[in-house]
Chains A and B, each alone.
Chain A
Amino acid sequence: MNEAPCIRVVDVHKKFGPLEVLKGVSFDVHRGSVVSMIGASGSGKSTLLRCINYLEVPSAGAIYIEGESLGFQEDAAGRRSARPLRDINRMRRDLGVVFQQYNLWPHMTVLGNIVEAPIRVRGLSRKEAVRVADECLRRVRLSDKAHEYPARLSGGQQQRAAIARALAMRPKVMLFDEPTSSLDPELTDEVLNVMRELAEAGSTMIVVTHEMDFARDVSDRVLFLHDGLIDEEGRPGQVFTAPRSERCRQFLAKYLK
């Protein structure tokens, strides 16, 4: 395992108007590890994940991707503003995101969705991109649906296609934002299994989830967020069986009944 952390989050705050959703979060993610973020709705876990990919701009604090700051510039009033979008987009290529709502583009086939960014953002040739796409489709076991439109697929299939789309960019880190929350219970397993395989293959992953079994069995570290702060963190064995925080204990009691 690499010594220097892949992702460093340092004292990140995020305000939406008067509401402060993140109140100073810090943690590291090392190459090859799987970090799960759990917590109640409104605890800030999704916002935190979206900050790492710059879909939200933190109000304070810093985020480093492989040592490079996601680059906030401060003006005279201390307000943060974005780095040039070109740089941000360059860094985004190395961060794969899987959304709760899959967000597949409805006017392209599954294959079209997957090859779009590799061709247009990474500049691969179509032939090369399709080769990569086929490999990713195989990994998520969706090869037979390559030429279907997303509307024809079940929720589980769409989410696996979304995972393949993120994988095709060969990201250094995969970010999962409640990937199974929109799925019917029968369909969550197929997605969780794919994620398990990715973890076993050594991917670096940050997963926001309500699936406690997954968090306990697959993660290397678990972060419990409450009210914008990390209330408890550690190895799953410790967090799930003997949490130090009372709130964490109450939260887990509800889920593991």
Chain B
Amino acid sequence: MSEALRQSLDLALFWEYRFVLFGGLLFNAAIFACAAAAALVLGLCAALLRVSLMRPLRWGGTVYVELFRNAPDYVMLVWVHFVLPLLLGLALRTRIEFHPFVSAVVALGLVYSGYFAETFRAGIQAIPKGNIEAGRAVGMSEALILRRITLPQVVWRMLPEALNIFVSLFKATTIVSLIAVPDLMYRVSMVTQQEMRPLPLYTGAALTYFAVILVVATLLRWASERWRRTVLV
């Protein structure tokens, strides 16, 4: 047992391949960035639908949110990559294939837009009605009220929860290796097949993600708390 332990902690192999492996992290980061942007925008739209005054819009928003919020990441990934192109192909009478990067961004963007939608909705509904009425009373349009009064307060209030969602999203990008996006995990499995020594590689991968996420998440939380304290609400 100690031999295996020593082997797995001997990260020299991991270090040897560091450029290839850390290059994979860039893919995680890129997918994260694109999916996060999509999830924020879609989530905000869905939240606005859910608080709208018209019942069909509210209903549509709820269906969207419940559909994507309750879908497992991996299932959505596989479905978007393998089924959606076929459906689109049937509709457009041609053969369509998604690049795995695109599938990953779309799948994760949709799922996490569900989480953001719930977060935004809670934030919007927590704003005292009086604030909105004060805006109306001075003649502000609904769009102006949304932009200048509602959204700033939603951002301030929900920032910690939003950060948690971002961290989860970054962690979720590790599954893209399963549709052959060359991220860190994919490259680890490739190198393992070549070198036949999984211990240092998987241990190294775990430690890498641990370090990256712990450091970045802690920094973000510290920064967000500092910013929130400067705006006394």
Residues in A with CB closer than 8 Å to B138 are 92-93, 96-97, 116-117, 121, 165-166, 169
Q: How far is the CA of A179 from the CA of B153 in the complex (A)?
A: 25
The answer to whether B137 and A92 touch across the interface, beta carbons within 8 angstroms, is yes
Chain B CB within 10 A, most for which of A104, A105, A169: A105
Q: How far is the CB of B16 from chain A (nearest CB, A)?
A: 52
Stretch in B37-45, B83-91, B99-107, B125-133 with 4+ CB within 8 Å of A: B125-133
Candidates B140, B142, B233; contact of A151 at CB < 8 Å: B233
Q: Which residue of A lies closest to B153 (CB)?
A: A107
Q: How far is the CB of A77 from chain B (nearest CB, A)?
A: 19
The answer to whether A151 and B232 touch across the interface, beta carbons within 8 angstroms, is yes
The answer to whether B231 and A89 touch across the interface, beta carbons within 8 angstroms, is no
The answer to whether A107 and B233 touch across the interface, beta carbons within 8 angstroms, is yes
Judged by a CB distance under 8 angstroms, whether B136 is at the interface is yes
Judged by a CB distance under 8 angstroms, whether A90 is at the interface is yes
- Secondary structure at the B interface, as helix, strand, loop or mixed, is helix
Residues in A with CB closer than 8 Å to B134 are 97, 99, 103-105, 162, 165
Q: How far is the CA of A89 from the CA of B232 in the complex (A)?
A: 30
Q: How far is the CA of A90 from the CA of B149 in the complex (A)?
A: 19
Judged by a CB distance under 8 angstroms, whether A152 is at the interface is yes
Given contacts A103-B130, A149-B231, contact A53 B137 (CB under 8 A): yes
Residues in A with CB closer than 8 Å to B131 are 103, 105-106
Candidates A85, A89, A96, A103; contact of B133 at CB < 8 Å: A103
Per-residue contact bits, chain B 198-220, to A (CB 8 Å; 1 contact, 0 not): 00000000000000000000000
Residues in B with CB closer than 8 Å to A188 are none
Per-residue contact bits, chain A 97-136, to B (CB 8 Å; 1 contact, 0 not): 1010111111100000000110011000000000000000
The answer to whether B156 and A101 touch across the interface, beta carbons within 8 angstroms, is no
Judged by a CB distance under 8 angstroms, whether B141 is at the interface is yes
Given contacts A105-B149, A107-B152, A116-B148, contact A121 B232 (CB under 8 A): no
- How many chain B residues touch A (CB < 8 A): the figure is 22
Q: How far is the CB of A194 from chain B (nearest CB, A)?
A: 18
Kindly identify, within residues 132 to 173 of chain B, every residue whose CB is under 8 Å from any CB belonging to chain A.
133-142, 144, 148-149, 152-153, 156
The answer to whether B130 and A99 touch across the interface, beta carbons within 8 angstroms, is yes
Kindly identify, within residues 30 to 80 of chain B, every residue whose CB is under 8 Å from any CB belonging to chain A.
none
Chain A residues engaging chain B, CB cutoff 8 angstroms: 53, 55, 85-86, 89-93, 95-97, 99, 101-107, 116-117, 120-121, 149, 151-152, 162, 165-166, 169
20 contacts between A and B (CB under 8 A): A89-B140, A93-B138, A93-B139, A99-B130, A99-B133, A101-B128, A101-B130, A103-B128, A105-B131, A105-B135, A105-B153, A106-B232, A107-B231, A107-B233, A120-B148, A121-B139, A121-B140, A121-B144, A149-B231, A151-B232
Chain B residues engaging chain A, CB cutoff 8 angstroms: 128, 130-131, 133-142, 144, 148-149, 152-153, 156, 231-233
